Amino acid sequence: MPGASSLSAAVIPDPKSVTLDDWGPLPEATGAPMATEGKKLWAGDGVLEVGIWRCAAGSSRWKFETNESFTIFSGRMTVTEDGGPTLELTSGDSAIFPKGWSGVWELHETVLKVYTVF
């Protein structure tokens, strides 16, 4: 079919084994610099993106300009929403952060997650 693109499935049996690119220090860090690494696995129209992200321990402040869902594959973090609850997330946990969410992420150790931005 002319003009059609073919799509392939991306299977990542072990996200911990993927070689990641240096993404530099985390801009949202509120204290010491936090090193980040990642790999975009897929990007679609607009903000649509799927990838792997790893970030060193530390504290950061977030205000989401898009929706994001993710599953943590290693590490542990505490998430505190502005004016809302505090949640503990660890390996195996999945979370969804809606556009407009704001709060603090405290990474207690390096976190590796597979994310979808939409």
CATH number at residue 107: 2.60.120.10
- Quick one: CA torsion of 67, 82, 37, 17, rounded to 10 degrees? -80
pTM for the complete prediction? 0.88
In a domain, 28, yes or no: no
Segment 68-94 shows an average pLDDT of 98
Query: Per the domain annotation, does 23 fall within a domain?
Result: no
Give the pLDDT confidence of 5-46 residue by residue, as tens digits: 456 787 888 999 999 999 999 999 999 999 999 999 999 999
User: Total structural domains in the chain?
Assistant: 1
Interatomic CA distance for residues 71 and 26, integer angstroms: 19
46 occurs within a structural domain: yes
Query: What single DSSP character describes residue 75?
Result: -
Question: Is there a domain that residue 50 lies in?
Answer: yes
Q: Identify whether 11 is part of a domain.
A: no
Q: Which domain holds residue 104?
A: 40-117
